[in-house]
Amino acid sequence: MTTQRISGIGLAYAFAAYGLWGMFPLYFLSIRETNPFEIVSYRILFSLIFCALVISAIRKWDRFAHIFRSKRAILTLGLASALIYVNWQVFVIAVVNGEVVESSLGYFINPIITVILGVVVLRERLRRMQWIAVGVSSIAVIVLSFSYNGLPWISITLALSFGLYSLIKKRVGANVDAISGLMIESMWMTPLAIVQWFVVSSAVGVTAFAHGVPYALWIMAAGPITAIPLMFFAAATRRIPLTAIGLIQYSTPVFSFCLGVFVLNEPMPASRWIGFVIVWIALVILTVDMLTHSQRSRLARAAELV
């Protein structure tokens, strides 16, 4: 048995994926003249169109049809689509309303949420260091609750929705590629996107095409902007170990946090800094445990071959 080597191109794909995800706030801030619900409706519709174009370009309709015939895959992706819709909508609302820092917190605590979901949903047993990380992160949430005058609902919703989304996506695993999966999820969300668009149109009016052609084209770019990082991520997971992916994922919230604090000048009182520092301590504990456990597993496998 051999361990998966870290390839340079794999690392490039991973950093490209998480780097683009980290820059998502900049994109949504650039179209904040448009209602957040209108933005998400376009994101869904143009993701569907872009995925269809990509599948046509790479001639993978047979592969898509095979996945589409699987009732289990379709229903699983339908549930995943509901969760990713919540994630997309809350994230856009947060960014447009100047809550980039709180949105970054959601992705900082996402690994902790994933560990907790493993216990609650998959009945996994936590190692000692994982329990410590969960306990430390709970303290951070309490501290941040005082800072935000209540639970940081944006962060918790983003972390829970993406954590559950990732858990459900594991159910279909390697049987569904990134583009086919996103297309089916977009198909599930399209009726909601259409209804949402009409509600916004009748309530406040749609504005995406009222600011000139460049602005309209930029909104239409939501499709490739959503799909391309997923393609990079899928390419990365085939080339580098999941432990490396787990470490690189922190680059996304780091970028968003720095953007919110140092570029957008969002408020960061002392209590909020303390809460974030405690979260980062929990992540360090979790990361050390992950690397240690991974090393022990490799040594154990090597011993079995002797």
Helices (H) and strands (E) in the chain, counts: 15, 0
From first to last of the 306 residues of the chain, give the pLDDT tens digit. Answer: 444 455 678 888 889 998 999 999 999 999 999 999 999 999 999 999 999 999 999 999 999 999 999 999 999 999 999 999 999 999 999 999 999 999 999 999 988 888 888 788 877 788 888 889 889 988 998 999 988 888 899 999 999 999 899 888 877 766 888 899 999 999 999 999 999 999 999 999 989 888 899 999 999 999 999 999 988 888 887 777 766 777 788 889 999 999 999 999 999 999 999 999 999 999 999 888 878 877 776 666 666 655
CA atoms within 13 A on the CB side of 93: 13
pTM score of the predicted model? 0.88
Amino acid 1: pLDDT: 41
Amino acid 32: pLDDT: 92
Spatial contact of 75 and 249, defined as CB atoms under 8 Å apart? no
Amino acid 295: pLDDT: 75
- The full set of domain ranges for the chain reads 8-130+152-240+247-269
What's the rounded Cα separation, in Å, for the pair 236 and 10? 5
Amino acid 2: pLDDT: 44
Residue with tokens 């002392």: 270
What's the rounded Cα separation, in Å, for the pair 208 and 37? 11
Amino acid 300: pLDDT: 66
φ, ψ of residue 268 to 5 degrees: the values are -135, 80
CA atoms within 13 A on the CB side of 106: 25
